[in-house]
Structures are given as C-alpha cells and as structure tokens.
C-alpha cells in the first residue's frame, strides 16, 4: 500500500466512523468464532489498528508487505508483526493459527484464490478464515482506483472462493447495510463532481460522524450471528469459513 495512504489511515482511524465501528464489528465476529487466547494472523495488517485491539484477547500476529506498515505496527508496540506477502506467508511458517484474517485485502490481489489457499495452509484443523471485501462493481469509484483494488465482490463470488479453498461456510453476509443508500448516492455523485484530492480521508463533522458510527454499530450482533438472516445487500461482505477438523 502507498505509504501516504497508510499515514492518512493512521491519522483518522481512531476517530473516523468507518474505522471505529468496523473494528468493533470485526472483534465481535472474531470473538464468536475464535476462543479467547487463540492465535490469529492478520494478513495485510496495515497500521495494526485491528490487531492492537485483538491483542487484548488473542495471541495476535500480523503480516504486511509494506516496511512502512510494519514500522507503524512496531511503533504501536506490536512486536508480532513481520514483513511478508499474502502469497507467501513463510514468515509465519513456524506456527499454526486458530484464525487467519484477510480484512479488506483480497480485493487488492490479482490472485485472491492463491492468497486464500496460503492462509488456509497455516490454519489449525478446525480453524477459520475471516475475510471482508467491498461489494458490488456498480459502486466502483475513484476510492477503488486510489486504493489499487482489482475488483468488488458479490456473495456468490466469495462463496465459490471459500469453497474452492476447502472451507465450509460458517457465515456469509453483506454488511454496512443501513448506510448503503447514502453511500451509494455518494459514490455515484463522486463520478460527476470533482471533490479534490482522490482518496483523501476526512473525519465528518462530529454530529455526523457519531450518527454514522452508531448506524454502522447497529449491525454488530447480526453480522456475527450465523443464526440470524444475512443482510440482503451492503457496502461490504463478510465471510467466515472453517477448515475441516480432520
């Protein structure tokens, strides 16, 4: 990832509604499928914002191809982060994990199936892959271009990807559902209106930021709970797949 984007993320992630609510949702999902004290690997961990929180409950490891990202993690006190590619996790070869996470990572890769297979290889029997990806190609915007996305997904694509990697589906749902209409209009409008620096992240005014964070957080329990109906659409997709126990 462009170091400038990493710096931008690090500047706003503790206050921006998307980062804060997303982390709460992902922690809720992880707690649902991974026992406390388990080992998790965050592939493409970026600035370490997720594993910083996960480390309070888990043995949390991270891998990222960017030396700048690894350095940011180290500055956060995260000493279980190593430099490595999603296609080659040999940097973590000497251990096995209860969960391998690809959190908004697969969409950046030319060969998402290869990366997923590499993650499955490091799972303990019965372990899970947790992945999030952006949804729907009709929402493609300058944001995707700046972030070097290769694609946005639909549910059947991600289901096929997981099944092809030998995983059984534990949970598969769209999420960021309640804000979908607002964000959809915003993405479409961005194609018509010049908004300045592409990919620049700004925290909305406090009342708006709080409202959007609260709306996103409303989804936390439903997203994590496989006994509840999946959301029919959303800005993103979450998938949890389990490796066979034998």
pLDDT tens column, 127-146: 999 999 999 999 998 889 98
Residue ranges making up the domain that contains 170: 3-242
Task: Say whether pLDDT at 194 is over 80.
Answer: no
Number of domains, the chain: 1
User: What count of Cα atoms within 13 Å lies in the side-chain half-sphere of residue 226?
Assistant: 11
Looking at residue 195, its pLDDT comes to: 43
Task: Say whether pLDDT at 196 is over 60.
Answer: no
Reported as a single tens digit per residue, the pLDDT across 55-74 is 999 999 999 999 999 999 99
- Pick from 164, 125, 129, 132: which is nearest to 23 by CA? 132
Q: 């479409």: which residue's tokens?
A: 188
| pTM for this model (two decimals) | 0.93
Domain CATH for 105: 3.40.50.150
**Cα–Cα distance measured from residue 55 to residue 50, given in angstroms and rounded to the nearest whole number:** 9
Three-state secondary structure along 167-212? Answer: CEEEEEEEECCCCHHHHHHHHHHHCCCCCCCCCCCCCCCHHHHHHH
Task: Say whether pLDDT at 188 is over 80.
Answer: no
What's the DSSP call for residue 104?
Answer: S
Looking at residue 93, its pLDDT comes to: 86
Task: Return the number of other C-beta atoms located less than 10 Å from residue 239's C-beta.
Answer: 25
Q: What is the mean pLDDT of the chain?
A: 92
Looking at residue 185, its pLDDT comes to: 59
Reported as a single tens digit per residue, the pLDDT across 19-51 is 999 999 999 999 999 999 999 999 999 999 999
Name the token pair of 107: 């969409």
Distances (CA, A) of 208 to 17, 84, 182, 221, 246: 9, 38, 12, 23, 49
User: What count of Cα atoms within 13 Å lies in the side-chain half-sphere of residue 197?
Assistant: 7
**Cα–Cα distance measured from residue 1 to residue 17, given in angstroms and rounded to the nearest whole number:** 22
Local confidence band at 199 (pLDDT 50, 70, 90 cut-offs): very low
Looking at residue 246, its pLDDT comes to: 79
Share of the chain above pLDDT 70, in %: 92
Looking at residue 152, its pLDDT comes to: 98
Distances (CA, A) of 225 to 30, 33, 70, 109, 165: 11, 10, 32, 28, 23
Reported as a single tens digit per residue, the pLDDT across 95-120 is 999 999 999 999 999 999 999 999 99
Distances (CA, A) of 101 to 27, 43, 62, 242: 11, 6, 9, 12
Reported as a single tens digit per residue, the pLDDT across 201-213 is 789 999 999 999 9
Looking at residue 78, its pLDDT comes to: 97
Looking at residue 200, its pLDDT comes to: 53
Task: Say whether pLDDT at 192 is over 60.
Answer: no
Measured N-to-C along each axis, helices 112-121 and 155-164 cross at an angle, to the nearest 10 degrees, of 50
């Amino acid at each position: 990832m462009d170091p400038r984007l990493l710096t931008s993320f690090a500047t706003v992630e503790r206050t921006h509604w998307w980062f804060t609510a997303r982390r709460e949702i992902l922690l809720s999902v992880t707690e649902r499928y991974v026992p406390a004290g388990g080992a998790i690997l965050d592939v493409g961990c970026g600035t370490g914002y997720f594993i910083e929180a996960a480390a309070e409950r888990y043995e949390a490891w991270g891998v990222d191809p960017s030396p700048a990202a690894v350095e940011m993690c180290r500055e956060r006190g995260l000493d279980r982060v190593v430099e490595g590619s999603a296609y080659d996790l040999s940097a973590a070869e000497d251990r096995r994990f209860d969960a391998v996470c690809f959190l908004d990572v697969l969409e950046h890769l030319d060969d998402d199936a290869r990366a997923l297979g590499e993650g499955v290889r490091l799972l303990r029997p019965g372990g899970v892959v947790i992945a999030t990806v952006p949804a729907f190609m009709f929402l493609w915007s300058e944001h995707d271009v700046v972030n070097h996305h290769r694609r946005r997904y639909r549910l059947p694509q991600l289901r096929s990807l997981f099944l092809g990697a030998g995983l059984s589906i534990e949970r598969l749902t769209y999420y960021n559902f309640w804000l979908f209409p607002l964000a959809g209009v915003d993405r479409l409008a961005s194609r018509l209106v010049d908004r300045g620096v592409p990919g620049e992240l700004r925290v909305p005014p406090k009342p708006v930021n709080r409202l959007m964070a609260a709306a996103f957080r409303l989804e936390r329990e439903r997203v994590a709970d496989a006994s509840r109906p999946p959301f029919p659409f959303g800005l993103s997709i979450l998938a949890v797949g389990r490796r066979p126990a034998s």
